[in-house]
Amino acid sequence: MVSIVERSSYISELRKNPKVNCLFGFLFGSSSKDYGDDNFSQIIKSLERNDKVKFNQIYKELNSREPSNHLPYVHDDFLLFSLILGCKKFNIDLSWVKRILSVRSTTDVEGNLITISLINIIENNFLSQNNNFGIILSFESILNQKYTSWQERKLFYIDIIKEKFPFYSSDLLNLLALKAYDIVILEGDESRESKYNRLSSFETSFLNRINNLSKVLHWTLNLLLICLLLYFYVNDSSFKSLLTDNSVIVSILGLGGIAAQVIFNNKVSKGIRYFLYWMWGYNH
């Protein structure tokens, strides 16, 4: 479990680095208005402002360079993460970034983990077990996409809380892990809220259906009663004679019945409605 004190102290120290502070602000929504002149900071600025023209300008300038393993930008995890993010966001070809990752060579375990995860993101292979899911979850959150299921996010959470903080020696992996951790925590709340909303929606739909069904049943019973009376009137001579001999009374009762239908219609429907509530075990 991530201690609030540990997290706060770690982030406070980390944010002394302008580059890391820039990414932190972007990830956690506390960005300052001061951006550095380096490519990474300007890329983050373009992403925050949804400025495709500016991003494309930076990307084209970088794209003119020939990747080589000895060049510093080839091993700049922050820069590569932001480039892939921008290309995905603005639908720009990622061939050049993929070439960078292909020439990038390191014996560092975390460096290889980042490389593999970024290549898989480019290839839309988000569910590979070789991925670092802190990177994947942060990536999909920023782009407002869902590439993973709740199961993957839950497994990430279970694994990460077992680790001692900070989780990695890499500042990038630690920032993204914290972002992913927050995502899972918040999504857990949203998941419960979503279930409540679905239940509330179902209840509203259920009540409307019961209301309509009670009216249908009410008028069906009326129709059956009328059909039954007509049946006896046509097929039972004694019943027909009874109606003929008492035509005045029947007329009065008929008018009274019609009046009763009008007056007590809502009460009968309500009675049927409560019977249906009882039948389905609903406490209204």
Q: What is the pLDDT of residue 28?
A: 87
Q: How confident is the model at residue 65 (pLDDT cuts 50, 70, 90)?
A: very high
d(CA 215, CA 129): 56
> Does any domain span residue 262?
yes
Same domain, 130 and 233: no
- Closest by CA to 172, choosing from 113, 120, 130, is 113
d(CA 49, CA 169): 31
Q: What is the pLDDT of residue 203?
A: 66
Q: What angle do the packed helices 237-245 and 171-235 form, to 10 degrees?
A: 80
Q: Is a pLDDT exceeding 70 seen at residue 34?
A: no
Q: Is a pLDDT exceeding 60 seen at residue 152?
A: yes
Whether the CB-CB separation of 83 and 49 falls below 8 Å is answered with no
Last residue of a domain, one of 194, 222, 248: 194
Of the given ranges (29-38, 91-100, 162-171), which has the lowest mean pLDDT? Answer: 29-38
pLDDT in tens, 156-188: 888 888 888 888 899 999 999 999 888 888 876
Burial class (CB in 10 A: 0-12, 13-18, 19+), 40: buried
Q: How confident is the model at residue 110 (pLDDT cuts 50, 70, 90)?
A: very high
Same domain, 253 and 119: no
Burial class (CB in 10 A: 0-12, 13-18, 19+), 255: exposed
- Closest by CA to 87, choosing from 114, 121, 116, is 121
Same domain, 138 and 225: no
DSSP assignment letter at 164: P
Structure-model confidence comparison of residues 140 and 210, the more confident one: 140
Average pLDDT over all residues of the chain: 80
Q: Identity (one letter) of the amino acid at 237?
A: S
> Does any domain span residue 284?
no
Peptide bond into 72 cis (omega under 30): no
Structure pTM? 0.64
Mean pLDDT of 224-244: 69
d(CA 173, CA 284): 52
Q: Is a pLDDT exceeding 90 seen at residue 84?
A: yes
Q: What is the pLDDT of residue 40?
A: 93
Looking at the chain, the whole-number percentage of residues with pLDDT higher than 70 is: 76
Q: Is a pLDDT exceeding 90 seen at residue 116?
A: yes
| Cβ contacts of 189-196, under 8 Å, gap ≥ 24 | 191/150
Last residue of a domain, one of 177, 194, 211: 194
Same domain, 216 and 188: no
Q: How confident is the model at residue 244 (pLDDT cuts 50, 70, 90)?
A: low
Same domain, 125 and 81: yes
Same domain, 182 and 255: no
Last residue of a domain, one of 147, 175, 194: 194
- State the total domains in the chain: 2
Domain holding 163, by residue range, is: 4-194
